[in-house]
């Protein structure tokens, strides 16, 4: 029997898939225009760096890009989170809670760069482009085949690490200020390779567990959380 094409559920399914792809493409195009507008406005106004000026007394340690280490056991994670919370209080900082969906580093960077964590796909895309085009800067820090590492980082939900943070600092010409839960390195500055940052991005890092976006206490903006986020 000759199969009949062009009718039935198969055709409807293909049509729905095409429609979904078109809608996704249109949304990405709309997002790109919005992101371009935000970046242009930021370039015009420039971040006044109030947070950085107020915390300029903090001593940072040299940053070494590295991939993700061991995830702490629950007891260590509890101690780490308490240590980070104490530092937030000491420094007068507050966290904008970011979704814990595997994209938290890129969402936190998107919040700092673009005032919207939902633009994390754009940030990841730019970071991957930096990794791909400047292999010589990062390959030595990656203990696996570099091509496989870059391919892995393209996937949504793949956790960012300190190599992607360095790539983000380089790509966006930003000083990334990381307040951590580490016992001996509570504050880390990640500088672009050229050493001339044009902006500051402030993140908290609950070590090997989660990133949030940082603001001065009382100045955390209101964001709509579409999915779950990490609350301890």
| Active site amino acids | 101, 104, 210
Q: Is the dihedral of CA 152, 158, 162, 168 positive or negative?
A: positive
For residues 67 and 126, give the distance between their C-alpha atoms in angstroms, rounded to a whole number: 18
Task: Dump the DSSP string for 75-128.
Answer: HHHHHHHHHHHHHHHHHTEEEEP-B-SS-HHHHHHHHHHHS-GGGHHHHHHHHH
For residues 156 and 63, give the distance between their C-alpha atoms in angstroms, rounded to a whole number: 25
Q: Specify which residues 176 forms β-bridges with.
A: 190, 201
For residues 181 and 160, give the distance between their C-alpha atoms in angstroms, rounded to a whole number: 17
Residue with tokens 């779950």: 228
Instruction: Let me know if 160 is exposed, middle or buried by CB neighbors in 10 A (0-12, 13-18, 19+).
Output: buried
Distances (CA, A) of 82 to 77, 85, 95, 207: 9, 5, 14, 12
């Amino acid at each position: 029997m000759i199969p009949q094409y062009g009718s039935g559920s198969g055709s409807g399914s293909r049509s729905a898939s095409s429609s979904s792809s078109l809608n996704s493409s249109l949304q990405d195009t709309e997002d790109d225009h919005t992101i371009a507008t935000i970046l242009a406005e930021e370039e015009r106004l420039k971040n006044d760096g109030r947070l950085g000026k107020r915390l300029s007394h903090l001593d940072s340690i040299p940053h070494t890009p590295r991939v993700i280490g061991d995830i702490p056991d629950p007891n260590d994670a509890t101690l780490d989170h308490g240590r980070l919370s104490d530092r937030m209080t000491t420094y007068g900082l507050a966290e904008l809670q970011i979704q814990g969906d595997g994209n938290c580093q890129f969402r936190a960077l998107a919040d700092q760069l673009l005032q919207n964590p939902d633009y994390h796909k754009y940030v990841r895309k730019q970071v991957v482009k930096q990794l791909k085009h400047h292999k010589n800067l990062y390959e030595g820090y990656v203990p696996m085949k570099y091509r496989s590492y870059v391919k892995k980082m393209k996937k949504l939900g793949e956790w960012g690490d300190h190599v992607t943070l360095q790539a983000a600092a380089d790509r966006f010409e930003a000083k990334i200020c990381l307040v951590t839960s580490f016992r001996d390195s509570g504050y880390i500055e990640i500088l672009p390779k050229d050493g001339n940052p044009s902006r500051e991005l402030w993140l908290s890092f609950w070590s090997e567990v989660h990133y949030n976006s940082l603001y001065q206490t009382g100045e955390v903006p209101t964001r709509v959380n579409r999915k779950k986020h990490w609350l301890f």
